[in-house]
């Protein structure tokens, strides 16, 4: 391994940075988060006081129209951007307290990211795309390749590991992105409109794959969508309207709603 790559050690999140007064089972806790974007003289308030808790192992869908603040909320939870006000806790660690190195550790090891446009590296094979985050995390090439093949097999691409993104269908590319997100065994996977560029059937396959991974290895999944057909696997649905949580539905309340969509059965 090249000396330039600094492995991020497991113990980097220091115990004194953990909030002690609160229950440990929350994977994510968002407190009074406000995010404002200043554009010249105009201020856009993308998030207007978000409060939520997500428990470990939950499958959460965040649903809301375009512009309601889903991606902004993901950027806050994923430590990719900072709130204007409020706090985000990952495993009860206030991420605003982390230094640059600890934040890098969080992004590399604790959270897996999946995007609408897949964001794969086009000159790299599926396997290379999946092994890259493991190399960053300090795994050897051999370990990374072995694990990469394993995960690609789990997502149904065992026979496509040497293909480059453009030699794969949209659904297959998103499977590579899922494999990449899982490479370092994250506790949380954030998927921002993962089915947005896919047809309904392929989209449902991707959602069901995410659900299977959630059920099998307990990874907490938080996915944003504006497509109500993608909600059926959710434990809870957070409805975002104009930068605020409008309502939260639980699993037992969801079936009814889903059955009513466009008069069409979804399953
Ligand atoms: P969604 O993902 O639900 O479509 P976004 O979080 O992308 O919504 O956007 C929420 C609001 O914030 C929108 O009004 C959008 O125009 C605005 N916004 C998002 N990102 C930026 C940015 N970087 N600069 C300025 N405004 C932004
Ligand atoms: Mg968005």
Q: Is 112 or 229 the better-scoring residue by pLDDT?
A: 112
- For atom 14 of ligand 1, the residue with the nearest CA is 67
Torsion of CA 83, 84, 85, 90, to 10 degrees: 10
Is the beta carbon of 72 within 6 A of some atom in ligand 1? yes
Residue 24 has a pLDDT of 57
Query: If you measure from the C-alpha of residue 37 to the centroid of ligand 1, how many angstroms do you get, rounded to a whole number?
Result: 8
Is the beta carbon of 7 within 6 A of some atom in ligand 1? no
**Which residues have a beta carbon within 5 Å of ligand 2, which is an ion?**
70-71
pTM beyond cutoff 0.75: yes
Q: pLDDT exceeding 90 applies to what percent of the chain?
A: 81
Residue 252 has a pLDDT of 78
- For atom 10 of ligand 1, the residue with the nearest CA is 69
Residue 258 has a pLDDT of 53
Residue 255's pLDDT band, with cuts at 50, 70 and 90, is low
Q: What is the pLDDT of residues 33-47, one digit of tens each?
A: 999 999 999 999 999
Residue 10 has a pLDDT of 46
Q: What is the pLDDT of residues 144-177, one digit of tens each?
A: 999 999 999 999 999 999 999 999 999 999 999 9
Q: In ligand 1, which atom is closest to the CA atom of 69?
A: 6
Residue 22's pLDDT band, with cuts at 50, 70 and 90, is very low
Is the beta carbon of 225 within 6 A of some atom in ligand 1? no
Domain definitions of the chain by residue range: 24-121+168-263
Q: What is the pLDDT of residues 93-142, one digit of tens each?
A: 999 999 999 999 999 999 999 999 999 999 999 999 999 999 999 999 99
Query: If you measure from the C-alpha of residue 57 to the centroid of ligand 1, how many angstroms do you get, rounded to a whole number?
Result: 28
Residue 25 has a pLDDT of 82
Is the beta carbon of 71 within 6 A of some atom in ligand 1? yes
Instruction: Among 47, 71, 72, name the best residue to mutate to test ligand 1's pocket (greatest count of ligand atoms within 8 A of Cβ).
Output: 72
Residue 266 has a pLDDT of 45
Q: Which long-range contacts does 63-66 make (Cβ < 8 Å, 24+ apart)?
A: 63/224, 63/225, 63/226, 63/228, 63/231, 63/237, 63/238, 63/239, 63/240, 64/224, 64/226, 64/239, 64/240, 64/241, 64/246, 65/226, 65/241, 66/226
Query: If you measure from the C-alpha of residue 68 to the centroid of ligand 2, how many angstroms do you get, rounded to a whole number?
Result: 8
The neighbouring-strand residues paired with 22 are none
CATH of span 24-121+168-263: 3.40.50.300
Instruction: Using alpha carbons, list the distances in angstroms from residue 57 to 10, 54, 191.
Output: 20, 9, 15
Is the beta carbon of 70 within 6 A of some atom in ligand 1? yes
Under 8 Å between Cβ of 98 and 14: no
Residue 18's pLDDT band, with cuts at 50, 70 and 90, is very low
Instruction: Give yes or no for residue 12 having a pLDDT over 70.
Output: no
Residues contacting 85, CB < 8 A, separation 6+ = 32, 33, 34
Query: If you measure from the C-alpha of residue 258 to the centroid of ligand 2, how many angstroms do you get, rounded to a whole number?
Result: 22
Residue 253 has a pLDDT of 78
Instruction: Give yes or no for residue 57 having a pLDDT over 50.
Output: yes
How long a stretch of residues is the chain? Answer: 267
Sign of CA dihedral 76, 111, 194, 5: positive
The mean predicted confidence, pLDDT, of the chain is 88
Is the beta carbon of 177 within 6 A of some atom in ligand 1? no
Residue 229 has a pLDDT of 86
Residue 257 has a pLDDT of 53
Is the beta carbon of 37 within 6 A of some atom in ligand 1? yes
| 62-71, 124-133, 221-230: least confidently modelled range | 221-230
């Amino acid at each position: 391994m090249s000396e330039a790559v600094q492995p991020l050690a497991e113990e980097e999140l220091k115990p004194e940075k953990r909030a002690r007064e609160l229950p440990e089972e929350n994977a994510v806790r968002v407190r009074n988060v406000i995010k404002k974007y200043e554009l010249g003289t105009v201020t856009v308030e993308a998030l207007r006081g978000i409060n939520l808790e997500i428990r470990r192992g939950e499958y959460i869908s965040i649903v809301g129209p375009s512009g309601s603040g889903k991606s902004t909320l993901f950027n806050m939870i994923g430590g990719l951007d900072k709130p204007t006000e409020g706090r985000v806790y990952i495993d009860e660690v206030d991420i605003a307290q982390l230094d640059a190195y600890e934040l890098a550790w969080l992004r590399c090891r604790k959270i897996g990211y999946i995007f609408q446009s897949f964001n794969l590296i086009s000159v790299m094979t599926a396997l290379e795309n999946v092994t890259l985050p493991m190399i960053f995390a300090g795994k050897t090439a051999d370990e990374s390749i072995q694990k990469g093949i394993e995960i690609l097999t789990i997502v149904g691409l065992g026979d496509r590991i040497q293909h480059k993104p453009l030699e794969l269908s949209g659904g297959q590319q998103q499977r590579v992105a899922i494999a990449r997100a899982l490479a370092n065994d994250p506790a949380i996977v954030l998927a921002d409109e993962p089915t947005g560029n896919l047809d309904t059937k392929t989209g449902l396959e991707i959602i069901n794959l995410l659900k299977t991974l959630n059920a099998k290895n307990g990874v907490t999944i938080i996915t944003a969508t504006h497509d109500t057909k993608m909600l059926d696997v959710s434990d809870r649905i957070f409805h975002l309207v104009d930068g605020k949580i409008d309502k939260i539905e639980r699993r037992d309340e969801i079936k009814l709603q889903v059955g009513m969509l466009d008069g069409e059965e979804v399953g």
